[in-house]
Amino acid sequence: MANWKKAPIREALGKTLVELGDRYPQVLVVNADLRNSVKSIYFMEKYPDRTIEVGIAEQNMIGVAAGLASLGFIPFAVTFARFASKRAADQISMSVDYCRNNVKIIGAYAGIFTGAQGVSQQMIDDTAAMRAMPNMTVIDTADVHEVRSALLFAAEFSGPVYIRIGRDEWPVVFDETYTFELGKGRWLREGSDVVLLNSGILLPYAVEAAELLESEGISAGVVNMPSIKPIDAALINDISRNVGAIVTLEAHNVQGGFGSAVAEVTAANYPVPIEMIGLRNEYSESAPNDALLEKHHLNPPWIAAAAKRALDRKNRLRC
Amino acid sequence: MVSDLSVLLTDRQGQPYSLTSERIKHLEYLCESTRRDIVDTLYKIGRGHAGPSLSMVELLISLYFEELRFDPSDPKWPDRDRFILSKGHGSLGYYAVLAQRGLIEKRELDTFESLGSRLQGHVDSNWLPWVELTTGSLGQGLSYAVGVAIAAKRQAKDLRAYCLLGDGECQEGNVWEAAMSAAKYRLDNLLAIVDWNNLQGGVTLEVMPSLEPFALKWQAFGWHTIEINGHDLQAVLQAYHQARQTKEKPTVIIARNIKGKGVSYMENKVEWHGGTVTKELHQIALEEINARLSELSQYADEKYGRNHG
């Protein structure tokens, strides 16, 4: 098993926002309270004049951000994913996505590992809502380095972006050299029997599952795909053709999320067996992360079991 | 003969001017001409929100002929004032005003709501460059205007944000979220105008949860409030002037209007939110409007209006 170094994800969000402030004078942060939780407090402390605080009013947060963007600012609207996405879903659709206003929406506390605070502070259907918006770029993040890189990308990119970001101390998979690439997945580990295709925070467990599978003589690849929209269809097609079995991983409901996005690609091009790791059309609860990983079958043994099911279906199809 | 109303105002550039009755009459003429275009388009196309368009004509003609700073040759001039029609269903009236002002051609009104037309059923910034924000999903325009006003202050730009809302629209919680933030940032470069026509979507406001006391609500949210008869052009211009003089807080003009104003059988009739007119009803409307136009015809010449250079 990998012995992961851990780092707090929300600290990376807070620090990177300050870095963005240092680099780009046009960057503003729009808060809807929660600055202490999502760590945008660091930006506020350094750049009080560049912080817009609307209070607990996410619909207004999005509309104000759109107005700020219209005069050339790059507003980062930062709050919990539940409130940043669907609480203001129509404002995002009409005032940001349709009009292509250059607003960056940061959904912190995405997924279920949000400090044992229960369902109302988790978010498992934001990817589904955001990726259905035609002009939206949707990114999920795995560790502190991917968080930083995705935020830097968003500041440079012209157009609406939604980024999912976790909260807790979390395994560090990448290093400082990591660079997010829009629409690109990346192999972390080669494999010829099955590929574990990950978007977001379950990445270390995908790596551990691949090691488990290897110990059982199964060659499992690991591909990380933070860019959910646009998605790396070329790489998915390669995997479909050359490997022929896929497990998708996401801290999100399997209905409508990253797994669905992958399945849309395979179904249209080269259908192969897919098993989806994620919330199985269910809500979570407040509990320590280990307990939630086990409850929702997100642990490496469960991932390995899913990989074997996909591999088994592949082999039966090919008989 | 030039008669002076003895009303001294400043225009958007800060230049003083004396509001004359001729100038008012000229604006009245433009309003009636706009109403004729609304009714004609409604008849030709067979669809449109007549009531919500007719109620806001004086407010918009005053904005586009007297108040807003913009470049008629460049809808995206960076320093333009931003006008956001939050009540996006007032599209027909808005387009008719743009045509009256010469920003689109009058014949383009005939394309209203047709495939590929810039004149979408609800105003749409992806199609028509004069539109700042696509609206119609009610309650969102004021937040955008707040963002514009904050951005303008940060950039030390002398541009103002204007946002026209419907009365029924103010049932949206988003409006009051925006109102709170506008007061917090002391946005004296923001003007909200509420077209209070007392009817919405086929019913009277009395059917709805009450918005009254409406002015007190805005005051409680930290706004300067001005209540006027929104069909009284002099009152409208004075209110715009007063809003510009008001510092350290945003201003809202509550314009008590008549839905369907200017067409007798539409006025204050809930059934004229949307819909069309028959040939006979079109004729009746035209006769009423044309009678007023002929009364005002001596003021048709733009020499009576503001010198637009």
Lowest mean pLDDT among B8-22, B34-48, B129-143: B8-22
Same domain, A157 and A288: no
Same domain, A61 and A112: yes
Q: Please state, as a whole number, how many other Cβ atoms lie within 10 Å of the Cβ of residue B24.
A: 19
Task: Tell me the CATH number at A142.
Answer: 3.40.50.970
| Per-residue confidence (pLDDT) for residue B1, from 0 to 100 | 41
Same domain, A152 and A261: no
How many separate helices (H) and strands (E) can be counted in chain A?
13, 14
Residue A155 domain flag: yes
Give per-residue pLDDT as tens, B245-287.
999 999 999 999 999 999 999 998 888 888 889 999 999 999 9
Task: Please compute the mean of the pLDDT values over residues A62-80 and round it to a whole number.
Answer: 98
Cβ distance A59 to B173 less than 8 Å, yes or no, reads yes
- Alpha-carbon distance A74 to A28, whole Å? 6
ipTM here: 0.95
Question: How close are the terminal C-alpha atoms of chain B, in Å?
Answer: 24
| Residues, chain B | 309
Give per-residue pLDDT as tens, A215-255.
999 999 999 999 999 999 999 999 999 999 999 999 999 99
Give the closest residue to B236 by CA, choosing from B245, B226, B246. Answer: B226
Give per-residue pLDDT as tens, A94-146.
999 999 999 999 999 999 999 999 999 999 999 999 999 999 999 999 999 99
Give per-residue pLDDT as tens, B124-157.
999 999 999 999 999 999 999 999 999 999 999 9
Region for B226 from its dihedrals, namely left if φ exceeds 0, alpha if ψ lies in -120 to 50, beta otherwise: beta
How would DSSP label each residue in A211-234?
A: HHHHHTT--EEEEE--EEES--HH
Distance between A66 CA and the closest CA of chain B, angstroms: 6
Residue B10 domain flag: no
Q: Residue A161: helix, strand or coil by DSSP?
A: strand
Per DSSP, what are the bridge partners of residue A195? A221, A246
Q: Give the range of the structural domain holding residue A229, as residue numbers without chain letter.
A: 186-318
Same domain, A156 and A256: no
- Alpha-carbon distance A20 to A152, whole Å? 7
Are A67 and B145 in contact, with CB atoms under 8 Å apart? Answer: yes
Give the closest residue to B243 by CA, choosing from B34, B35, B66. Answer: B66
Cβ distance B148 to A63 less than 8 Å, yes or no, reads no
Cβ distance B181 to A73 less than 8 Å, yes or no, reads no
Region for A213 from its dihedrals, namely left if φ exceeds 0, alpha if ψ lies in -120 to 50, beta otherwise: alpha
Distance between B135 CA and the closest CA of chain A, angstroms: 7
Q: Residue A252: helix, strand or coil by DSSP?
A: strand
Instruction: Answer with the one of A171, A206, A231 that is the final residue of a domain.
Output: A171
Residue A179 domain flag: no
Give the closest residue to A112 by CA, choosing from A258, A251, A259. Answer: A251
| Residues, chain A | 319
Distance between A64 CA and the closest CA of chain B, angstroms: 4
Cβ distance A94 to B143 less than 8 Å, yes or no, reads no
Q: Which two tokens stand for residue B154?
A: 């940060």
Same domain, A202 and A157: no
Average pLDDT along chain A: 97
Residue A268 domain flag: yes
Task: Tell me the CATH number at A287.
Answer: 3.40.50.920
Give the B window 78-137 contacts with A, CB below 8 Å: 82, 125-126, 132-135, 137
Residue A67 domain flag: yes
- Alpha-carbon distance A157 to A113, whole Å? 28
Same domain, A133 and A193: no
- Alpha-carbon distance B151 to B129, whole Å? 20
Whole-Å CA distances, B188 to A51, A297, B145, B164, B276:
19, 55, 12, 16, 40
Same domain, A129 and A82: yes
Q: Which helix (H) or strand (E) holds B170?
A: none
Instruction: Answer with the one of A139, A171, A203 that is the final residue of a domain.
Output: A171
Q: Residue A58: helix, strand or coil by DSSP?
A: helix
Question: How close are the terminal C-alpha atoms of chain A, in Å?
Answer: 34
Query: What total number of domains does chain B contain?
Result: 1
Residue B11 domain flag: no
| Per-residue confidence (pLDDT) for residue A210, from 0 to 100 | 98
Residues of A in Cβ contact (< 8 Å) with B184: 53
Task: Please compute the mean of the pLDDT values over residues B53-82 and round it to a whole number.
Answer: 97
Q: Which helix (H) or strand (E) holds A55?
A: none
Task: Please compute the mean of the pLDDT values over residues A78-82 and round it to a whole number.
Answer: 98
Task: Please compute the mean of the pLDDT values over residues B48-68 and round it to a whole number.
Answer: 95
Same domain, A100 and A20: yes
- Alpha-carbon distance B186 to B178, whole Å? 12
Same domain, A279 and A190: yes
| Per-residue confidence (pLDDT) for residue A1, from 0 to 100 | 54
Residue A177 domain flag: no
Residue B2 has pLDDT above 70, yes or no: no
User: Which of A53, A66, A72 faces B144 most closely, judged by CB atoms?
Assistant: A66
Q: Which two tokens stand for residue A148?
A: 């930083």
Helix pair angle (A9-23, A144-156), 10° resolution: 30
CA-based nearest residue in chain A for residue B124: A99
Which percentage of chain A shows pLDDT scores above 90?
97
